[in-house]
Amino acid sequence: MAAQTLAQLLATLPEEERIILTLHYLRNLSSGQIAAMLRVPEAAVLGVISSGRARLTSALEN
Protein backbone atom coordinates (compact mmCIF):
# COMPACT_ATOMS: atom_id res chain seq x y z
CA MET A 1 0.00 0.00 0.00
CA ALA A 2 2.55 2.60 1.08
CA ALA A 3 4.95 1.93 -1.81
CA GLN A 4 2.15 2.17 -4.34
CA THR A 5 0.80 5.33 -2.75
CA LEU A 6 4.27 6.88 -2.70
CA ALA A 7 4.84 6.00 -6.35
CA GLN A 8 1.48 7.53 -7.26
CA LEU A 9 2.26 10.69 -5.30
CA LEU A 10 5.70 11.01 -6.86
CA ALA A 11 4.10 10.79 -10.29
CA THR A 12 1.94 13.84 -9.49
CA LEU A 13 4.87 16.07 -8.51
CA PRO A 14 6.37 18.62 -10.87
CA GLU A 15 9.20 17.08 -12.90
CA GLU A 16 11.98 18.93 -11.05
CA GLU A 17 10.74 17.77 -7.62
CA ARG A 18 10.16 14.23 -8.85
CA ILE A 19 13.68 13.95 -10.26
CA ILE A 20 15.42 15.42 -7.23
CA LEU A 21 13.41 13.45 -4.67
CA THR A 22 13.96 10.24 -6.63
CA LEU A 23 17.70 10.83 -6.80
CA HIS A 24 17.87 11.73 -3.12
CA TYR A 25 15.60 9.14 -1.51
CA LEU A 26 15.59 6.23 -3.95
CA ARG A 27 19.12 6.51 -5.38
CA ASN A 28 20.64 7.70 -2.07
CA LEU A 29 22.51 10.63 -3.62
CA SER A 30 23.49 13.57 -1.45
CA SER A 31 22.28 17.07 -2.19
CA GLY A 32 25.81 17.95 -3.28
CA GLN A 33 25.94 15.05 -5.73
CA ILE A 34 22.55 15.99 -7.17
CA ALA A 35 23.57 19.63 -7.50
CA ALA A 36 26.74 18.67 -9.37
CA MET A 37 24.83 16.27 -11.62
CA LEU A 38 22.16 18.84 -12.49
CA ARG A 39 24.59 21.79 -12.48
CA VAL A 40 22.52 23.83 -10.05
CA PRO A 41 23.37 25.34 -6.65
CA GLU A 42 23.16 22.91 -3.73
CA ALA A 43 20.87 25.37 -1.93
CA ALA A 44 18.36 24.98 -4.76
CA VAL A 45 18.44 21.20 -4.41
CA LEU A 46 17.96 21.46 -0.64
CA GLY A 47 14.99 23.77 -1.18
CA VAL A 48 13.36 21.35 -3.61
CA ILE A 49 13.95 18.42 -1.24
CA SER A 50 12.36 20.37 1.60
CA SER A 51 9.32 21.54 -0.35
CA GLY A 52 8.85 18.18 -2.03
CA ARG A 53 9.03 16.33 1.28
CA ALA A 54 6.48 18.74 2.77
CA ARG A 55 4.16 18.25 -0.21
CA LEU A 56 4.41 14.44 0.05
CA THR A 57 3.90 14.47 3.81
CA SER A 58 0.82 16.64 3.46
CA ALA A 59 -0.62 14.41 0.75
CA LEU A 60 0.01 11.24 2.80
CA GLU A 61 -1.72 12.75 5.83
CA ASN A 62 -4.89 13.47 3.83
Report the predicted TM-score, pTM, of the whole model to 2 decimal places.
Answer: 0.84
Domain count, the chain: 1
Domain presence at residue 50:
yes
Domain presence at residue 59:
yes
Q: What is the pLDDT of residue 3?
A: 61
CB atoms within 10 A of CB 50: 10
pLDDT at 52 over 70: yes
Q: Name the CA dihedral angle for 3, 59, 10, 55, rounded to a multiple of 10 degrees.
A: -130
Q: Residue 59 belongs to what domain range?
A: 20-62
Q: 3-49: per-residue pLDDT in tens? A: 667 788 889 899 999 999 999 999 999 999 999 999 999 999 999 99
pLDDT at 1 over 60: no
